[in-house]
Amino acid sequence: MTPGRPVPPPLGKPLVLSDETADAAPATPSTPAAAQGTPTLAAAYGATSADSGLVPLTVARRAPKEDDVEIEIDFCGLCHSDVHATRGEWGTQNYPLVPGHEIVGRVRSVGSAVDDFALGDVVGVGCLVDSCRECDSCLEGLEQYCERGNVGTYGVKDARNGDSITQGGYSTSVVVDRRFVLRVPEGLDPAAVAPLLCAGITTYSPLRYFDVEEGDVVGVVGLGGLGHMAVKIAKAMGAQVVVFTTSDAKMEAAIELGADDVILSKDPEAMEGANRTIDVIIDTVAAPHDLNPYFRTLRLNGALFQLGLPSTDMPPVSPGALIRRRLSYAGSLIGGIAETQEMLDFCAEHGVVSDVEVVTARQLNEAYDRMVAGDVKYRFVLDTKTLQPASEKADV
C-alpha cells in the first residue's frame, strides 16, 4: 500500500485505438450473416417499462462491421445495476431495455479487420462497448471515464452505430467492436467467469489503484456480488480481509469465503472494536447507509471507496471524521479494457472465480427479488440456452 498516494494500475498491452488494422486480411472466415451484411435476430429478456418485470424480447443485432466480433453468448451475470436500471431506479431509461454486462460466450464470426480473435475463442464483454477513443481518459486506457461519455453495454446511444440504443447480454448473441472484447483465460468455468466482467473488475480496480499488497487490511462492506469478489481478489493480493455485513446469516459464509474476520455492522460494539484497524474499505452496499461508523474503522491515511450507487442520497459524511485521520472518500467506476484483461489474467493465475447460482430465463424475475433481499450466494448467472427462440420480428 502507498497510504494516501494511490498509484495508477499498469495498463499492460496498450489498447490499439487507431484503425490501422482496417486493411488487414481476415484471420478467419465470417459467417454468412456477416457476409450478407444482414442483422441477426437474437432472443433476449428485458424490461418494457419500469414496472414490467423482465419479459421475452427479440433484439436485432447489427451485421458485424470490419472491426466487429459477433459473440454467441453462453452466460450473463445478473448485477444489481441491472435491477436499478430496468426498474427505473436511476431515472428514465430507454425501453425496451435488455440488461446484462457480465457476458461470456464464444466468437461466432469476425469482421474483415479482426485478426486478434478467431472463431470459437472464449471471450467476455463487460460494462463498456465503446468510448470516444480520443480523449485523455481513453488514451490512458481509462475508457470508463471517457470525457465524452462511455458507451455502456446497454441502454445508451451508440453514436458509431447510428445512435441505436445498446442492448445487453440477457440474450443469445451480441456484436461488439474488437477493442472492447476481452479474452477469457483457458481453464476457467465460463459461468463462474461471467461476474468477473463487472463485479470482478469493479472491485479489482480500486484495490489496484490503492496498491493493496501483503500486510494491508481491506474492509469489504456488503457481501453480495461485488462484495464477495472483493474478498477473493483482496485475499489473492495478499491482504487481510474484514467483511462488514448486515446479515447474521452471512457471518459464517464470509469466513468460508476466505475473510479473516467478519463484523455485524448493525452491532455498535463490534463496530467500535474495529476502530483504527483498516487501511482501505470497499463499500458495495446497494442502498443508502451511514458511512461515518466505517470511517472510524480506518487508520491514518485510510480510504473508503464507494462503489454502490443507490437511487437516493446517502446520509451526510462528517468532515471531522475525514480530517482527523487524513482519510480519503473516493468513488470508482468499473475499470478500463486493459485493466479488465489484467484482472482476468490475475484471476486465472490465482484461481479466482465467482460463486454463482445459474438460473434460467424464467427464473430471472424471482432472481431479481432474491438479489434485492440479499438472498444469493453470491451472483446469479443466466444460462442463455434457456431463452425462448427469437421471434421473426425484432422488438428492439
- Which of Zn ion, ligand NAP, none has residue 287 at its interface (CB below 5 to 8 Å by kind)? ligand NAP
Query: Could you give the C-alpha distances from 183 to 121, 151, 337, in angstroms and in order?
Result: 8, 20, 11
Residue 232 φ then ψ, to 5° = -65, -45
Helix (H) or strand (E) holding 36: helix 32-36
Q: How far is the CB of 174 from ligand NAP (least distance, A)?
A: 19
CB-nearer residue toward ligand NAP: 59 or 243: 243
* Contact of residue 146 among ligand NAP, Zn ion, none (CB under 5-8 Å per partner type): Zn ion
Beta bridge partners of 59: 42
Q: Minimum CB separation from ligand NAP for residue 379, in Å?
A: 7
Which grid coordinates are listed for 103?
457476458
Q: Is the peptide bond before 39 cis (omega within 30 degrees of 0)?
A: no
- Which residue type is seen at 133? R
The nearer residue to ligand NAP, 192 or 223, going by C-beta atoms, is 223
Instruction: Kindly list the distances between the CA atom of residue 36 and the CA atoms of 64, 68, 70, 164, in Å, as whole numbers in the listed order.
Output: 10, 14, 14, 20
Contact set with ligand NAP (CB under 6 A)? 79-81, 84, 198-199, 202, 222-227, 245-247, 250, 284-287, 307-310, 332-334, 371, 374
| CB crowding 142-173: b at 16 or more within 10 Å, else e | bbbbbeeebbbbbbbebeebeeebbbbbbbbb
**Least Å from the CB of residue 38 to Zn ion:** 31
Q: Strands 103-110, 68-77: parallel, antiparallel or unpaired by DSSP?
A: antiparallel
Residue 33 or 286 having the CB closest to Zn ion? 286
307: partner contacted, choices Zn ion, ligand NAP, none (Cβ within 5-8 A by kind): ligand NAP
The site partner of 132 among ligand NAP, Zn ion, none (C-beta below 5 to 8 Å per kind) is Zn ion
Q: Quick one: what does residue 138 bind among ligand NAP, Zn ion, none, with the CB cut-off 5 to 8 Å set by partner type?
A: Zn ion
Residue 176 or 263 with smaller CB distance to ligand NAP:
263
Report in angstroms how near the CB of residue 75 gets to Zn ion at its nearest.
14
Q: Judged by CB, which is closer to ligand NAP: 58, or 205?
A: 205
> Side chain identity at 204, as an amino acid letter?
Y
Q: List the end-to-end C-alpha distance of the chain, in Å, as a whole number.
A: 47
Cell of 49: 417499462
Among ligand NAP, Zn ion, none, the one that 371 touches (CB under a kind-dependent 5 to 8 A) is ligand NAP
Nearer to ligand NAP, 173 or 205 (CB): 205
**In residues, how long is the chain?**
396
Residues that bind Zn ion (CB under 5 A): 79, 81, 131-132, 135, 138, 146, 198
